[in-house]
Structure formats: C-alpha cells, structure tokens
Structure 1
C-alpha cells in the first residue's frame, strides 16, 4: 500500500535526513521504524503525508504518487499521531477528535458520536470530551491524539512515538 522508491530528503543547509530509501509496506501490515535519534524516522513519516516533501524519488500510497494528490486531501485519508499530540488548544477534546470527520463532510452529530466512541476506546471517561487539552495530563492528551487519528477510520495510520507519554 505504501511504496518508497529511491526516496531522499535533503535540506538546503546540506543536511540529508533520508538517503535513497526503497521500501514496500504491504496493505494490512504493521511496520515499525527503529533507529537512533536524528536518523530520519519522523522525516520519513512526514513525507508520506507531504508535511515534508521528498527531494528525490517517489512515494506512492495505494498505487498513487503522493505528489500528484492534493496535499490536504491526501492528509485527510491518513491518520497521523505526532510525538507531542498536536491538539488544537481552543477546541474541546470531543471537537479535536471530530476534526477530520467534519472536514470529510460528516454531519456534526455523526462526527461527535464517533469521537465519543473513540474516547471510550482509548480509555478516557466521557466527561473528558468537554474539557480542553490543557486540562488533561500529557498521557491523556496523547490518547486524544490517537483517537483523532482513528476518527475517520483511515486506510493508513502513521504513528510517531504515539505512546511515549501514555501510562500503562
């Protein structure tokens, strides 16, 4: 489902974050990138959803070159959990989780019902949905980030150290 073909990312200052990566990730599989800090794991993930553009090579998702897709549309079809949760501070937890379904045109009621369902799935009480991110612990915020990534049931889920702050 995801294919890297001779992909590189070089920054203008001369830093090479990813160098000639070729990798096939099958549909339905789980792949883990393991490496030392600064080796390009996050950059590799961010290239899949075009938050970072590759400087060489081709990345395809579902057989389609990501550079041929509208970046916003591509991102709405990929769940992404970032290292620091990335929640919108001015929106309630429920509305944070419902973000992508609303962008995809789901009705508000359906999107919020899905968000409430996911709160339970990630082990948060229903009343957490009315709170704001700053009112949650770091681990709770990370759980909300996971729930948001799952909200629209995306075919691709990218997770960048999603459980670093989550308690057992």
Structure 2
C-alpha cells in the first residue's frame, strides 16, 4: 500500500545572484528573506566538488565571512549566492511540506467504504462545472473520482468545492 501526500505550489523563494562585493551579497540577502531563509555561497554556479560550496548560512557574520572567502579565492573574483532550498533553512519550503503532510494524514484517515483500507483518495477530476450565467461547461472541476488501491472500488463526488456553478469570469463563453 502506498499513500502519498502532496502539495503543488508555485510559492517559493528560490533565487540566485553572482556578486562582486559583500554589499551586493547583503542586498541580495535582504531581498530573499535572510536570515530566516538560509543562503549558500559558491565559487561557481556549477561547483566542481563539495569543498566549493558553503551551505546553511543563517547569520550576517557567516555570510560576510563566506562571501569574503569566496571573493578572495575565486579565479573570477566573483561569488555565486543562492537561497538554501533545504527545508531546515527554508521556511517557505517548510510550509509546503507541512501542507503535504496534512494531505498525507487526510488520505491515511480516508478509508474505502467497501473494504476499509486507508488511502481512499481522489484519482481523477472531471471538468465541466457549469457557468452560473449561461450554464455552459467550464474548465473548472464538476466532480472528483475516489478510488481504492486495494479493491478498486470507485466513488464519484459532485461539486467537491461546494459550488454547483462557476462564476461567469471562469466561463470561456461569457468571458472569452
């Protein structure tokens, strides 16, 4: 039995910049939410080995030290900075992982009405929620299909978002 929790989000703080001074590095850091969001300093965007990467920078002192070290030892005189995307140094990513965990728990607690196996989850969505003005089908979800991994039982749920009609702004006929 495999139950997967997921959160699809465009909310991220992934960013990078090549700098030639500590001042530029500090400006970049401020822009990306440092020190709550950690930084990585590298000699190059594609480092040759791990020794060319300084990770987990979460204080101004360590940032200045790392940038100065790379600027002094880099053949180009530049340092590559980027946000540390490891969850332990990235509150934005942590929030998305929390949402994925909540989704996983919701799926674990959703049991099949036929065989009681956990993981009774949505496997497909049916588009076509009708427009409230013209009643033409829209691209919004009209129904979802739940399916059990063990016994294959399926169940359709109409209007999963609680509305039987879509706003006309979502209609290709009323709002082309």
Query: TM-score normalised by the shorter chain: which range applies?
Result: under 0.3
Structure of larger gyration radius: 2
TM-score normalised by L of structure 1:
0.24
- Larger RCO (alpha carbons 8 Å, 6+ apart): 1
Normalized per residue, the structure richer in helix is 1
TM-score of the pair, normalised by structure 2: 0.23
